Amino acid sequence: MKNITLSIDEDLLQSGREYARAHDMSFNVLVRKLIEQTVIPQKDKWLSDTFLLMDRAGASSGGKRWTRDELYRGVEVVNPLEGRV
């Protein structure tokens, strides 16, 4: 593994070290993971992106549960704020 030298603001370095320590890792591991996540395409990224979009949508089923048959068939969805969709 190669060593590199980085120039980084002292406050940012301190914050990074605190974050790494709080997540039970070294600062080197934190930097390596961040670079890896940035430059190496992830096969399952689409899945985490999908869940992120679902979380941001703020939608709710209102407690409604569907049967397997309804899901395969397709059911009429009623949005309580807008009516039928």
pLDDT in tens, 25-73: 999 999 999 998 888 877 777 888 888 898 898 888 788 888 888 777 7
Q: What are residue 4's phi and psi, to 5 degrees? A: -130, 165
pTM of the model: 0.49
Residue 34, beta-bridge partner list: none
Q: CA-CA distance, 10 to 20, in Å (whole number)?
A: 15
For residue 39, give the amino acid letter: V
Q: How many helices and strands (H and E) does the chain possess?
A: 4, 2
